Amino acid sequence: MAREATITFEQVSTAADSIKTTGGKPTARAVRDVLGTGSMATVLKLLQQWQAGQVRQSQAIDDTLDPGIARAISNQIATKVQEATADTTARLADLQAEAETIITENERQAALIELQAAELSALQEQYAALTGRAQQLDADAARTVADLAAERQASEVARVELAKAELRLEAVPRIEAEIEKVRAELLEARTQTAELHEAAAVATAKLEAAEKARARVEQQLEGAAAQAVAAGKALENERVAVQACQARLEAAAREVVAANDAAEKARSAAKKAGEEAAELRGQLAGKGQPTAEKKPARGAGK
C-alpha cells in the first residue's frame, strides 16, 4: 500500500515562489530544504507540476502581445531561442542532478531498509534462540525436579533394600539351600527345555507336512471347483436345450391339437357329405325306378 504524502502542491508552490523571488533556483533539494519534510520523489513530482504551470503562464503572456510588438521583437527570436535552449539545458541539468539525488536517496533508503531488515532478522533469530533457550531451561528444570524426586524415591527404595539385605544376611544358610534347590530346578528345566525343543522340531516337521498336504488338498479343491463350474455351465446349457425342446414340443402339441381339430372337422364334413351323397343317390334312384321299389332300394342304400 502506497504511503500517503505528507506535503501538498500548495506548500511546494509557495516554497518554489519564495526561492524564485529571492533570486534562487527552485530545485527539488532547495524546496525540500525550505519545507524541512517530505520525500525527494514527492517534492520532485510536485515541483514539476509547478514548473509546468510556470511555462503555461509564460506562454499566455506571449499570446497577449500586440501584433506590432510581436513584429518589433521578431529580430530577437534567435536570442530567445538561444536563451530558451540554454534555460531548457539548465533545467535538464537540474532535473538530472535532482534525479541523481533522488536515486542516491533511494539507494541510501534501500540500504537502510536492508540494514533494518537484517537487524530485524537478527533480532528475530535472537528472540527465537532466547525463546528456545528459555524453553530448554524450563525443560531442564522440570527434568531436574523429576530427577531429584526419582533420586529421593530411589534412596527410599535403597534403604528398604538395605534392610531386606540385612535380613537376608541373617538367613544366608537357608538362602544357600534355596540356591541349590533352584540350581537343581534350573537343570531340570533345561532338560525339559531340550525335550520341548525336540518335540517342537518334530511338531514343526509335522506341521510342514500338514501344510503341504493342505496345499495339495486346496489344489484338488480348486480343480474340483473348476470342474464343478464347468459342470454347472454344461448343466445350464443342457437346461437351456431342454427348455428349447419343451418349447418345440409344446408348439408341436399345439399343432397336433390343431390338426386333430381340423381332422375332426374334416371327418364331420366328410360324413355330412356322405349323407348328402347317399341322399342324392337315393333321390336319383327313386326317380329312375317305380314307387314300389323305392323302399328296398333305400334300404339297400343304407
Question: Which of the listed residues 73, 107, 128 is the one where a domain comes to its end?
Answer: 128
Examine the domain organization and report whether 122 and 21 are in the same domain. yes
Residues 88-102 have pLDDT tens digits of 667 766 776 777 777
CA distance 58 to 52: 10
What's the rounded mean pLDDT across residues 18-24? Answer: 91
- Compute the average pLDDT of residues 4-24: 87
Write down the pLDDT at residue 301: 45
Judge residue 47's burial from the number of C-beta atoms within 10 Å of its C-beta, 0-12 exposed, 13-18 middle, 19 or more buried.
Answer: buried
C-alpha cell at 221: 479343491
Domain count, the chain: 2
**Residues 47, 7: contact at Cβ < 8 Å?**
no
28's grid cell: 527539488
Among the listed ranges 65-79, 118-132, 142-156, which one has the minimum average pLDDT value? 65-79
Q: What is the mean pLDDT of residues 237-244?
A: 85
Domain that residue 38 falls in: 9-128
Kindly state whether residues 102 and 17 are assigned to the same domain.
Answer: yes
pLDDT score at 68: 58
- Average pLDDT in the chain: 79
Q: What is the pLDDT of residue 299?
A: 44
Of the two residues 116 and 109, the one the predictor is more confident about is 116
Is residue 295 included in any domain, yes or no?
no
Q: pLDDT value at position 176?
A: 80
Tell whether 273 is covered by a domain: yes
Evaluate whether residue 144 is within a structural domain.
no
- The answer to the question of residue 79 being in a domain is yes
Whether residue 246 is contained in a domain is answered as yes
Answer yes or no: are the C-beta atoms of 102 and 28 closer than 8 Å: yes
C-alpha 143/C-alpha 260 separation (Å) is: 111
Using the predicted structure, report yes or no on whether residue 269 has a pLDDT greater than 50: yes
Residue 151 lies in a domain: no
Sign of CA dihedral 276, 281, 287, 289: negative
Q: Does 181 reside within a domain?
A: no
pLDDT digits (tens, 9 = 90+) for 195-217: 888 887 887 888 888 789 888 87
Cell matching residue 279: 341322399
The percentage of the chain sitting over the pLDDT mark of 70, rounded to a whole number, equals 79
Q: Mark whether 120 and 213 lie in a shared domain.
A: no
CB 58 within 8 A of CB 87: no
Q: Are residues 211 and 120 in the same domain?
A: no
Are 124 and 227 part of one and the same domain?
no
pLDDT score at 293: 45
DSSP state letter for 23: T
CA distances to 6, 159, 169, 180 from 164, rounded to whole Å, are: 87, 9, 9, 21
Q: Virtual CA dihedral for 14, 19, 21, 22, nearest 10 degrees? A: 140
* Cα three-residue angle 201-202-206, rounded to 5 degrees: 115
* 13 and 107 together in one domain: yes
pLDDT at 302: 39
Q: Is the pLDDT of residue 295 over 70?
A: no
Largest CA distance in the chain: 181
The model carries a pTM of 0.28
In a domain, 237, yes or no: yes
Confidence at 11, pLDDT banded by 50, 70, 90: very high
- What's the 3-state SS for 5-40? CCCCHHHHHHHHHHHHHCCCCCCHHHHHHHHCCCCH
Task: Identify the residue with better confidence: 83 or 47.
Answer: 47
- 120 vs 73: which has the higher pLDDT: 120
- Do 7 and 46 touch, CB atoms closer than 8 A? yes
Whether residue 72 has pLDDT greater than 70: no
Residues 29 and 123 in one domain: yes
Residues with Cβ within 8 Å of residue 105, at least 6 apart in sequence: 39, 40
Q: Are 171 and 179 in contact (CB under 8 A)?
A: no
What one-character-per-residue DSSP string does 142-198 give?
Answer: HHHHHHHHHHHHHHHHHHHHHHHHHHHHHTHHHHHHHHHHHHHHHHHHHHHHHHHHH
What gap in Å lies between CA 69 and CA 129, rounded to an integer? 82
User: Does 234 or 299 have the greater pLDDT score?
Assistant: 234
For the residues 40-47, what does the mean pLDDT come to? 88
pLDDT exceeds 60 at position 245 = yes
Q: By the 8 A CB rule, do 46 and 12 touch?
A: yes
- Residues 118, 208 share a domain: no
Sign of CA dihedral 230, 236, 242, 245: negative
